Chains A and B, each alone.
Chain A
Amino acid sequence: MNFADIMALALRNLRQAKLRTALTVIGVVVGVAAIITMVSFGIGLQRNIIGQAFARLDAFTAITVVGADANDLLVLNEGRTAMDEGGADDKPVGEATPEPSPNQEETSRQLRRARRMLNDETIAEIQQLDGVRFVAPIVTFTGYTRFNDRTRFQLVAGAMPGNEPRFKTFLAGTGFSSETGDEAVVNENFLSAFTAEAFRQRRNNRGGSGGGPFQAAPNKTDAERQREAQAVIGKEIILLSPPTGQAPGAGDSIFGIPLLNFPSQTPQREATDPDESRFERRVFRIVGVLKNDGGINFNPFGNADFYLPMGQAKQLRLANLSPMERMGGALVGQSDEAYRAIELRVADPSRIKPVTEKMEQMGFRAFSVTTQLEEIERIFLIINSSLALLGGIALLVASFGISNTMIMSIRERTREIGIMKAIGGSDGEIMRIFFVEASLIGLFGGALGVAVGWGIDRIANVLANQWIARQTGQAIRYVEFFSIPWYLWTGAILFAVVISLLAAIYPARSAAKVDPIKALRYE
């Protein structure tokens, strides 16, 4: 009997028990839809994060270098604290810390923390390294920012004059002319955050973060955006900062450890009226407006909406250090001039690996898209497998349904099986009919499950975007949270078919073993 005939017989059998077949198929649909929905979310998340990395034009030349901070130095590291290591941080530049043996290096890879501080000296040292094109510290602080007659508590970052790789596309204006000018570069987020509408929406959505990783959707034409950007060039931004050199609590210290002097009230983003008398007013003029790329932004470092020239930012950061930072730094003998992290660019992508390794040898932690991609992929392999496992359990439950259906069907058709054997059907042919029947259930259920999973994804995606828009109080660019690549849906269908075939092993074998004489005995 050829395959087409077996297929026809199997289809006929399924049609004869429509309700039972439908219910069994639904079991498979639920399992497959669960797999599709969950794994597509995992893959979607992965795509968004990796896509974010790729979206950066300079992604493959960028390294973020992280230096030691109070937490790292206080935590036991490879059995010792950094302070036990004889003050590696105090060593003069060029005297490299001893390299760990390769074996040790491998085992401690996950645990390794930065052992060295990043400051202007180390930056100068790194600048000299082979293959390094650009180095700048990541300098950020938060401060009361006044623009458009409105005040927000705003993240501010420092940027280098000239060719600053973090400035990708200017809608209007240019970058900084010097490290110390009273200039400011902002992006579209900044402008929209200071509109009357944004303030009203945020007030109505108390608890709304007003930004987060979701960037505003450019729902205007490019020409409009450019016009708006051009209009703010030259406008003033006022930064209220504690007087430089006289940071709060700077005077109160015991043996150089500043006393904690928490402000009576933690600053609110919407704190409308800070007591201006306690602050120094600094005025900056907008020289450039950056284009917003939209999408999700997960980079924890230096993705500010508001940039000042590096020299200004360094100075203001020191004035704005929180008492906690100040104390932590003092505890480990870290000077205020130390940076948490620096941005580094290599000359070309092939330099990523050697420079990353060099940074680690020097006692820093280095992250690049390359290393991040590897880690992200490893993490997502685990996440996606766990999600698939959950869906797989649903499918496993469905497989019992398939077994049950097949066994029932064989009970009912014992006589028919006996007839087939009596007229010359072989055990193998009988078995194949039932295997094909089961795999058809798997195939229908799988295909339908993919469709249902896709449908759930679409609905969930719309709802999620609406929810985010409500939470953030601003229109965001439509984010695609789910991704169903071809290997996911083919894999899910294939898995459903395989599970169905496994579920059919016992029933099909018992069908093949039907004794025709018993089956054909008079009723």
Chain B
Amino acid sequence: MPILEARQVVREYPMKAETVRALSDVSVSIERGQFAAILGTSGSGKSTLLNLFGGLDRPTGGEILFDGKSLAPLSAWEMSRYRLHSVGMIFQSFNLIPTMTARENVSLALAFAGLGKTERRRRSLELLDRVGLSQRAEHLPSELSGGEQQRVSIARAIANQPQILLADEPTGNLDSNRAAEVIGLLDEMRQRDGKTIVLVTHDHELASRYATQIVRLKDGKVVEVGG
């Protein structure tokens, strides 16, 4: 059974004059433990698909299934629990809270899961150690390099032990060395912890180097599914 599945997913955005169709009839299934890369140019709908997988958005038509169960009937609160426990999201612009230190940013995700203060502190330091940032725990995002910030956001994404990591152009703001480090870290998570990785990128080379499954999107449609 695929851990993530999109079945005939349609996502339309009603605009003033017309309705923009970001995804039309997209069906994708991602097996557990895969490194799936969603490739496409900007405007191809790849980020839209990732947001649907991440539970940040709901499809206009079709359905998203996690572990064989549809996300459609979930309430807003249940959806927030899905985001908290089942998926971890990583963004191109890191999306760390600028007024919080690296540790506090990781800790915030643990706080939403209801962990106590001492437990949060211990866990967040452990997670930062995991991504090689134990020395930078008390630094603000502005005091960290791009690569370091992205590693903090990976630590935050895995904080509540989700089965899936969803990364939206995580290397877009990084140079090639840092990019390789970050993707390497994601791959390590997959190999060591059995996480399923869904990577949205427009970088073919990067995708072909790590991905076990490639989905190519164009104009909101799947044009190629391959390995």
Name the B residues within 8 Å of A425 (CB-CB).
80, 84, 112
Name the B residues within 8 Å of A516 (CB-CB).
56
| Residue of A with least CB distance to B57 | A517
A422-B108 contact, Cβ under 8 Å, with A427-B77, A428-B77: no
| Residue of A with least CB distance to B47 | A517
Q: Would you give the shortest CB distance from B137 to chain A, in whole angstroms?
A: 18
Q: Give the contacting residue for A424; candidates B57, B81, B96; CB below 8 A.
A: B81
Q: Is the CB of B112 within 8 A of A1?
A: yes
Name the A residues within 8 Å of B189 (CB-CB).
none
- Tell me if B93 counts as interface (CB < 8 A to partner A): yes
Q: Is the CB of B109 within 8 A of A1?
A: no
Q: Would you give the shortest CB distance from B163 to chain A, in whole angstroms?
A: 14
Give the distance in Å from the alpha carbon of A425 to the alpha carbon of B81 in the complex: 8
Give the distance in Å from the alpha carbon of A415 to the alpha carbon of B99 in the complex: 12
- Tell me if A227 counts as interface (CB < 8 A to partner B): no
Q: Is the CB of A423 within 8 A of B109?
A: yes
Q: Is the CB of A424 within 8 A of B83?
A: yes
Give the distance in Å from the alpha carbon of A2 to the alpha carbon of B116 in the complex: 8
Q: Mark A495-523, 1 if CB is under 8 A from B, else 0.
A: 00000000000000000000011001011
- Tell me if B223 counts as interface (CB < 8 A to partner A): no
Question: How many interface residues does A have (CB within 8 Å)?
Answer: 25
Give the distance in Å from the alpha carbon of A422 to the alpha carbon of B96 in the complex: 11
A419-B95 contact, Cβ under 8 Å, with A1-B111, A2-B114, A517-B51: yes
Q: Is the CB of A426 within 8 A of B77?
A: yes
Q: Is the CB of B112 within 8 A of A424?
A: yes
Give the distance in Å from the alpha carbon of A517 to the alpha carbon of B95 in the complex: 12
Q: Give the contacting residue for A5; candidates B91, B96, B97, B111; CB below 8 A.
A: B111
| Residue of A with least CB distance to B104 | A12
Give the distance in Å from the alpha carbon of A418 to the alpha carbon of B157 in the complex: 15
Give the distance in Å from the alpha carbon of A1 to the alpha carbon of B81 in the complex: 12
Interface residues of B in 77-95 (CB under 8 A from A): 77, 80-81, 83-85, 88-89, 91-93, 95
Q: Is the CB of B51 within 8 A of A1?
A: no
- Tell me if A429 counts as interface (CB < 8 A to partner B): yes
- Tell me if A416 counts as interface (CB < 8 A to partner B): yes
- Tell me if A16 counts as interface (CB < 8 A to partner B): yes
A421-B80 contact, Cβ under 8 Å, with A5-B111, A429-B112, A517-B51: yes
Q: Would you give the shortest CB distance from A430 to chain B, in whole angstroms?
A: 9
Interface residues of A in 416-452 (CB under 8 A from B): 416, 418-429
Give the distance in Å from the alpha carbon of A191 to the alpha carbon of B174 in the complex: 96
A416-B97 contact, Cβ under 8 Å, with A424-B113, A427-B77: yes
Candidate in A4, A16, A425 with the most chain B CB atoms within 10 angstroms: A425
Which secondary structure dominates chain A's binding surface? Answer: helix
Q: Give the contacting residue for B56; candidates A5, A416, A517; CB below 8 A.
A: A517
Q: Is the CB of A424 within 8 A of B85?
A: yes
Interface residues of B in 136-191 (CB under 8 A from A): 156-157, 160
Name the A residues within 8 Å of B160 (CB-CB).
424
Q: Is the CB of B89 within 8 A of A12?
A: no
Candidate in A12, A419, A421, A423 with the most chain B CB atoms within 10 angstroms: A423
Give the distance in Å from the alpha carbon of A426 to the alpha carbon of B79 in the complex: 8
- Tell me if B54 counts as interface (CB < 8 A to partner A): yes
Name the B residues within 8 Å of A522 (CB-CB).
92-93
Give the distance in Å from the alpha carbon of A429 to the alpha carbon of B108 in the complex: 12
Q: Is the CB of B111 within 8 A of A427?
A: no
Q: Would you give the shortest CB distance from A365 to chain B, in whole angstroms?
A: 67
Q: Is the CB of B76 within 8 A of A423?
A: no
Give the distance in Å from the alpha carbon of A523 to the alpha carbon of B93 in the complex: 9
Name the A residues within 8 Å of B157 (CB-CB).
423
A424-B114 contact, Cβ under 8 Å, with A16-B99, A416-B97, A419-B97: no
| Residue of A with least CB distance to B84 | A424
Candidate in B108, B111, B114, B160 with the most chain A CB atoms within 10 angstroms: B111
Give the distance in Å from the alpha carbon of A5 to the alpha carbon of B96 in the complex: 18
Question: What are 7 A-B contacts with C-beta separation under 8 Å?
Answer: A418-B95, A420-B112, A423-B108, A424-B83, A427-B77, A429-B112, A522-B92
Q: Which 6 A-B pairs have the closest CB atoms?
A: A424-B84, A426-B80, A5-B111, A424-B112, A424-B83, A423-B109
